[in-house]
Amino acid sequence: MATAEHRLTYGQFISSRGNEYFCEIDEEYLTDRFNLTGLNTEVQYYQYALDLVTDVFDFDCEDEMREQIEKSARHLYGLVHARYIVTTRGLAKMLEKFKKSDFGKCPRVMCESQPLLPMGQSDVANTSPVKLYCSRCEDLYNPKSSRHAVIDGAYFGTSFHNILFQVYPAMLPPKSQRRYEPRVFGFKVHAAAALSRWQGDQRDSMKDRLKELKIETGFEEEDEELDDDDEEDEEMEGGEGFQGAAVPQQ
């Protein structure tokens, strides 16, 4: 038989290492059968798993059986979690974790430690593990911890991160067009420079089309900053040229 000290409880699941990406689901949400519609066909030992998740499990069984039920309880919690985090309460809880960078920060230097959000590449369980989404560079990254890397992406779903920024648009960072330019002794690397120019031309072309359509891109302020930087560089170059000029002899 499984002893009391070895039994998994709801509180232990939330606080255990490796579950930092999850937020705590309200008990009222867990006990509302409407929110669990269809999950009974996706989870083995569904009723036992639900009882375990809601802390009403009172069934003595062999250790092997208990392990299976605990595994099902974790899976059930993850599936319910994907539904909960797109509710008003769930979004608010995940927003707080996002603000504290509980999910990590973007490793890309140009993103300036932008907080990441967990997301799935599929809403179907056992398809792909969770990834971390950066809203600044709009790219995906693998979790650093091996404990987090094996979490099912379906426990967060494919829509959560987009819904969060729709509900809290102020949290969406401004897009940046600053890019790293490879150089050797101060000179641009030829092949990379050509590619960079092509990408820059494509970006400028896209911005012109959006401007013609009168669609706000958020690049306007950054364009002004880049223009100011260019003017400062030109002034500095002009000053250096003047200082280095030969002084005619009397």
pLDDT, one tens digit per residue, over 147-183 is: 999 999 999 999 999 999 999 999 999 876 677 777 7
- Give a yes or no: residue 124 inside a domain: yes
Cα separation values, 174 from 48, 101, 104, 138, Å: 47, 18, 19, 11
- Give a yes or no: residue 32 inside a domain: yes
- Give a yes or no: residue 236 inside a domain: no
- Give a yes or no: residue 218 inside a domain: yes
Write the pLDDT tens digit of every residue in 183-205. 788 777 766 666 777 788 888 88
CATH number of the structural domain spanning residue 129: 2.20.25.20
CA distance 131 to 119: 5
- Give a yes or no: residue 249 inside a domain: no
Q: Which domain holds residue 109?
A: 101-173
Is the pTM higher than 0.85? The answer reads no
pLDDT over 70 (residue 227): no
- Give a yes or no: residue 231 inside a domain: no
- Give a yes or no: residue 153 inside a domain: yes
Say yes or no: 155 and 206 in one domain.
Answer: no
| Mean pLDDT along residues 60-75 | 83
The domain boundary residue, chosen from 36, 58, 84: 84
pLDDT over 50 (residue 6): no
| Mean pLDDT along residues 26-34 | 92
pLDDT over 50 (residue 248): no
User: Helix 160-167 to helix 88-99 angle, to the nearest 10 degrees?
Assistant: 90
CA distance 127 to 140: 17
